[in-house]
Structure 1
Amino acid sequence: MLNLFDQKRWSSIIPYLFLAPWLIGLVVFSGFPFLSSLYLSFTNYNFVSSPNWVGLKNYLTMFTQDPQYFQAIKVTVTYVLVAVPLELSFALFLALLLNKGIRGLGIYRGVYYIPSLIGGSVAIAILWQQVFGDSGIVNQLLGYAGIDMPSWVGTPDYAIWSLILLKVWQFGSPMVIFLAGLKQIPQEFYEASSLDGAGKWKQFIHITLPCLSPIILFNGIMQIISSFQAFTPAYIISNGTGGPVNSTLFYTLYLYQNGFGNFQMGYASAMAWSLLLIIAFFTGLIFLTSKKWVHYGDQG
C-alpha cells in the first residue's frame, strides 16, 4: 500500500511538481510549434489548403533560385558584424566610467538601461524613423554645421546605419553585465601592476580584458543571437518593404513577407530552420575560437 506520508518519496516528487507548469508550457508552446515548423518546412502550405509534402523543394528554391534570400543574409550579417562590436564596445566604455565609484551609480545604471527595455518597441522604431528622416533632428543638427545630408532612412547607403545606431543605443543590458564583471576583478591586480610601472592602457589590455573575457563571450553570443532575430526596427523604418532597394531587408523581415505576405508558410518555415542553422554556425564558431582568448579564473 502506498504511504502518502512517505517523506523520502515526496522529496523526490515535489521538485517535478514545481517544474510541471514550465514543462507543460515548454511542450505546448515551444515543443509542438517547433516540430510543426519542421514538418511545414518540407511542405507547400498557404493557410487555406492542407500542407502538401514537397520534400526538399523549399530548401532548393531558397539556395538556388531566390536572390532575395541571399540579399537578406547579406544585410543581416552586415548588421550583426557591425552593430554587435560597436554596441559591446560602447557598453564596456560606459561600464568602465560607471565603475569609477561615482555618486548616484544606481540612478545612472537605471537611466542607461532604459534603452534596452524600450529599444525594440514599435514606438521607438517610429521615433527613430522621424529622427533620421529627411527633416529629422539629426539632419537639422548637421545642417547647422553646414553638412547637407539626405534622409538616412530613405537612402540605400545610409538606411542600414540608422538601424545599426538604434542597436548600439540599446547598450544597457550588456553594460550592466560588464559593470557587474568589473566589480569582481580584484583590485590587487591593478595595485601590483602599478608598482611594476604599468599604465592605464596596459592594465586595461592585460588585466581588464582577460578578466572580462568570459563576460565578453556571454554578451557577444547573446547580442549576436538577438541581432539575427531583429525585426521590428527594420519593419517600421522600411514600412515593411525592406527598402530602400532592399537595404534594410533583414532576414526575419523577408521571412515575414513570405509567410504572412505571400502566404508561403512552408517556405517561411524552411527559412526559419535555415536561420537556426546560421545562428548555430556563428555561435559554434565563437565557442571554437573562445579557447584562444577566453580566460577563466581557475586556469593556470
Structure 2
Amino acid sequence: MQWLQSPKYLMLIMIIVTIWSSMGVGFLAMLAGVLNIDPELYEAGYIDGISKRWQEIVYITVPSMKPQMLFGAVMSVVSTFQAGAIGVQLSGSNPTPQYAGQLIVNHIEDFGFLRYEMGYASAVSFVLLLIIWLSSKFVWRLFGERD
C-alpha cells in the first residue's frame, strides 16, 4: 500500500475514518434528542405565531435538544484528539510520512516515548490539557444550561 505514503491521501483517509467512526454516537444522540421533543411544544408554538419550519427549528427543536448536542459536541472534541492513532496505523510509522498525519498526540508520543524527552513531552501534554479544557468550556457555554 505504497499510496498511503503520500501525505494528501493519508490526510484524506484520516478524515474519512474519523468522520465514519464518530457518526454512530452522534447520530444516536441526535436521534434520541429529536424523539424526546414533546409534540405539544410545536402546537403551542403554532398558537404563539410560529408559522415557518425554520422558526420551529430555531425556537423549539434546537433548545429542546441542547443536552444531546452538548453530549455530541464533547464526544466529538474528545474523539478529535484521539484521532492521532489513525494516521500511525494507516502509515505504519510514527512520525507519519512528511508529518502529514501528525497531530499533537503523535507529537507527545514521539518526544515522550521514542526520544525520551519527558520534560518537553509533559509540557506539550499540559498544553493539550489546556486546549481540551478550554474547548470543553466553550462547548458547555454554547450548549449547557443557563440557570
Aligned-pair CA distance for 1:241: 3.0
2:7 is the alignment partner of 1:156: yes
The aligned residue for residue 187 of structure 1 is: 39
- Whole-angstrom distance in 1 between the partners of 2:15 and 2:6: 14
The aligned residue for residue 26 of structure 2 is: 174
Contact residue 235 and residue 241 of structure 1 kept, 8 A: yes
Bigger Cα Rg: 1
2:145 is the alignment partner of 1:285: no
- Whole-angstrom distance in 2 between the partners of 1:282 and 1:197: 34
Identity of aligned residues (%): 28
Aligned-pair CA distance for 1:199: 4.4
The residue type paired with residue 220 of structure 1 is A
* Structure 2 counterparts to residues 221-300 of structure 1, below 5 A: 221-288=74-141, 290=142, 294=143
- Whole-angstrom distance in 1 between the partners of 2:67 and 2:40: 20
TM-score, normalised to structure 2's length? 0.78
Aligned-pair CA distance for 1:279: 0.9
Higher percent of residues as helix? 2
The residue type paired with residue 157 of structure 1 is K
TM-score, normalised to structure 1's length? 0.42
- Whole-angstrom distance in 1 between the partners of 2:79 and 2:113: 22
From 34, 57, 62, the counterpart of 1:204 = 57
> Secondary structure of the equivalent of 1:258?
helix
The residue type paired with residue 215 of structure 1 is Q
- Whole-angstrom distance in 2 between the partners of 1:295 and 1:228: 22
- Whole-angstrom distance in 2 between the partners of 1:261 and 1:295: 40
Contact residue 240 and residue 253 of structure 1 kept, 8 A: no
> Secondary structure of the equivalent of 1:218?
helix
* Structure 2 counterparts to residues 78-97 of structure 1, below 5 A: none
Farther-moved stretch of structure 1 (230-239 vs 200-209): 200-209
- Whole-angstrom distance in 2 between the partners of 1:209 and 1:160: 33
Judging changes above 3 Å, is the alpha-carbon distance between structure 1 residues 265 and 241 closer, same or farther for their aligned structure 2 residues? same
Contact residue 34 and residue 61 of structure 2 kept, 8 A: yes
Contact residue 88 and residue 96 of structure 2 kept, 8 A: no
Structure 1 unaligned regions, length at least 5? 1-132, 135-150
Judging changes above 3 Å, is the alpha-carbon distance between structure 1 residues 158 and 202 closer, same or farther for their aligned structure 2 residues? farther
* Structure 2 counterparts to residues 92-111 of structure 1, below 5 A: none
Structure 2 unaligned regions, length at least 5? none
**Structural RMSD (CA):** 2.7
Aligned-pair CA distance for 1:257: 1.3
Contact residue 190 and residue 207 of structure 1 kept, 8 A: yes
